[in-house]
Structure 1
Amino acid sequence: MQSKVFYIVSFVMLFLFSCKKDAVVDLNTLVQVDSAQLTQGAIVTVSKDTTTVTYGNVEAKFSQTSTCFPSREVFTFTASGVALPAGGYYSWSFGDGSIENGSNVTHYYQAAGSFVVTLMVMANANNMLAKVSFGVKALGQQTKPEAIFSTKFDFPQNLNYVTFNSASSVNQGDIIQFKYNWGDGTEYISSVGLVRHEFPHKIFDTTYAVKLTILSNFGCTDDTTVRVTIPGRYNIKGKFRTESFDACTNERILFTAEAENVPTGAIYEWNFSDGTGTRTGNPIMYKYKFPNDYDVIMSIKLNGREIYRTNKLVNAKGENPKPTAKFEETLVWDYPTTQRWSFNSRSTIPTSTIDSYQWNFGNGNTNNEFFSFIETVYNKETTSRSYTVQLIVTGNGCADTARKTITIPPR
């Protein structure tokens, strides 16, 4: 029987009535001798789950079933040893106000507690031959422990070291033992619910079925199992490369991972650092809206956990990165042998600023000194002559060219 028998010998009283005179036995002075306690002829013995109290030829036995759910704690009391006269009987008082007659009776207590049970040997309803009193301890009905625990990775530098915290409970009594089977071939027994365990270090993710078994002071148990995944230590190396397509018209950048030792089933996650969130895939094409240097982060994840990360700066030109070259020409003055012309850039760039103005006036003169407005002199010859004026503007690494023709009259 699973439950242990508890009895209180500290206040056991045995009374034997002979010739209408009580013989009192004080069991506080009992001496333990093996499985029996002896004093002045009274004997209290315990054998497995049965307790026997004897004095002379009066014998009272009791046992109790398990209090653990779904069982129900029931006491069985047995009286013997007396040759009852006609009309004689055994009467039991259970200490909770209940009385029952018979040589073999059962009783259950509604609540846990200590009770004094009295056996009376009755010749008839008016004549008591003997009385024996002893203590029993009821554990209560259907003790039900419930095993619950949680896990937490408290040590980021060592994810093999895990904290386990029991939130187990019991409806009566106390939990006195927490037994963890870690699922890695080891186990641990503790009197407290908060424990830590370091799992083996392995290359790949490993899942362990961790089982907690709790034990109450009434001998009742419950268990539960939680699966715990311990991350592997992956020796991943490498970064990623980029390749730009149609940079100055409709730029798209191809990102390709170049990592080694990546486990099967891993997912590549990209953060392009432009506030649009993350994308997954490898390789992956992406288009930026604005020109900038972006700190791109590549994460490799397995079962939702990041196992590797790398990053690097990537220059993007964004949408409409190309400047548009345009300029106006104006005749400043006209002398008999020369003409002075001015040229004023009206070039634009949608998303950035122009980086350079490169002028070629067609007369052998050039200027690359970042002048958006500039003048030059043309010499008149014996016949009229046309010159092609060219402006190249750059921005975002892109360029555009504008050309115009001016004619210089003869002198």
Structure 2
Amino acid sequence: MEENTPPHESPQENTPENSPELPQEVSHETPQELPKEMHQEVVQTAAPDSPLEAVEKAEKSANKKDMMKRLAMVLAISYGVTLLFVIVWAFAVGTNPIGLFNVLPLSQAGFGNFLMMIFNILIGLIVLVALGISGVGFLKSMLAPKTDLAAKKKHSKLALYSGIAFFILAIIWLVGLVLLTPRLVTEQRFSSPIITSPANPIGLTAPIEVIFDAGSVPIDPGVYEVLSYSWDFGDGSSGNGEQVAHRYTKKAEGDGLYTVTLSLNYMDIKSGEQFTGDFVTEVGIQNELVAAVFSALPGSGEVPLTVKFDATASYDPDGEIINYEWDFDGDGRYDDGEGVKSEYEFTQEGNFDVSLRVTDNNGEFNVSTFTVEAGSVGGMRAIISSDVPEGDPYYVGEKYEFTGELSQIRDGVIKKYSWDFGDGTKVQSRNTSHTFEKAGDFDLTLTVENSDGDEDVTLLEILVLEEGTAPQGDIQASTLSGPVPLTVVFDGTGSQDPDDDITDFEWDFDGDGTVDDSGDKVSHTYEEQGVFNATLFVTDSTGITDETTVSIEAGAQGIIGRVEVDSNNGEVPHTVRFDASASTYKDGSIVSYEYDFGDGSDIYIGGSSVTYKYNEVGTFSASVTVVGADGLRNTAPIQIVVRPVALTACFTVNIDNGSAPIFLSVDPSCSQGTIDSYRWEFGDGEISFDRKPDVHNYTETGVYTIHLEVTSSEGIVDNFEKSITVN
């Protein structure tokens, strides 16, 4: 094998002087005859790559890097285009019936949330990857040998570029969260099929009426038949029907949102199987309207007439009033006065509409108007007098007396009195009587004429009502007795009205017949000793007034009995907690409390507080007598009013829409109060006096109004009606 040894392994034997001449064929064939193993060993132990091999390796590495860059660019562009397409499609197909959220089993809001989740996952992963690469590059740069400048530079660039990418992507992620999340929440809130008017029921100002329409509820009329629509308005009120209206008077507690629920009862037309489903929307009350209330004293008189105006009764339920503006001349510009109180002199005859505009801290405002009547000093003046006090309503079927004998004339005499009652009745007489046959607003005019043919006309606005629609006042007093000076907080917010529209609360604290304050919640300090009757007058929008009274005892110093109750007015059965712990004895000690509940029960001797249940309707004069160790006694009275359950007519039906024949069942179980009689009208001429009539059959198509009238033993009447459609 010596002849096959490569020349470079024996350099000393290959000199020209002592090296034998090798055969030509051996020199050419040696590489081909080497064994495979020896060839591999030669390659492995060979010298560094030749320049050509280094260039080839560099080109391969560059090509590989270029391919990776292109692949990354393709993936980035694909991801960006796909994401952009999904976002544009999702938010542009709101009116497209073949939108993505209609193809998938998701609502539009649900799809929006799904899209947001995908967005967060994808960009979150990319941000984390960028952060990881930046961190790895930074660590490698720090750990690389100081002498390896190329490695440090390479890893530093990697950390820098990855950090920039992380920062940019993090900003995009944050902007996406800020811009998209509120939009998705809003879309989720309004994704209900319930249609409302106003269309956006969020951010409203109370009081406001909102109309709810269930006409777009996704029920296929070819498969199902809707039997009933039941609404829960979220404020304790409810309604029935496909389209209903509800008036919100105040903000909801907490976030101001009322959750409105529609409960749908529907039936499979083929099988007859019944189903129920609930749909929900929200109503948001952002603000409660400020109330503009003022008094004018005097409200009428002869010119020149000076009137004092006082707006202290104005209030803002959820803020504060920052501006009071007055318009005394009726020109629509509130530039005639400012401040809570103002004064104005009317020098000309006529009726002047004085308006007050109050503005709260939210920029919301409200306006109230009062008509001042400025009359003439002399000449002729028509004056209407009636047996009904001014401002009180008239009632259908009642006979009323009217006279014009108080009309005035300076020179001559009144020759003619002409009455027009506004309902088609006209009379010529100084005195007359009239009975209104229907409810409504009527303008009663009296025209007086002298011998020269001169006339003067006056108008009286008359409100005619059906019986049983008056409001009912309720007083809650913080205390009913105590030593002077005695401060009492009066609360009239428990007052009720069948139409839920009480407009005025006026208070007479000392029973002298003069209104001392106004507002649903007021306070008064009694400086003198005595028993005072505090009276609340409540008036609704129709002008009907009701009054209720409580007695306040302001006593001298010494042993003083004081009693407070958690509720002195309620429906039977009514539970009251009496608390006499505020009773005092300046010069001694109280040893016992004697309770007289005013209903005939025995006197109860106990501690400073006790709870008692009234099971009968009536007004009870209760009292607590405190007894001192020396035998001195003092009694604190309190009045407890127990009302019957308010009479309310109500009924439900088993079906309100269907094809003839319809077999209708009515159920008055939701009616309240002590009902003495029922009267049903079914809209087709049929009448029933049963509490729960038998099934009623409708065979003819049409819309029928079912009317229920309930009457109590006291003669109080309430009505309720509902319509059904027979196809």
> What TM-score do the two structures reach when normalised by structure 1?
0.33
| Larger helix percent | 2
Give 1 or 2 for the bigger CA radius of gyration: 1
Indicate the structure whose relative CO is greater, using CA pairs within 8 Å and at least 6 residues apart: 1
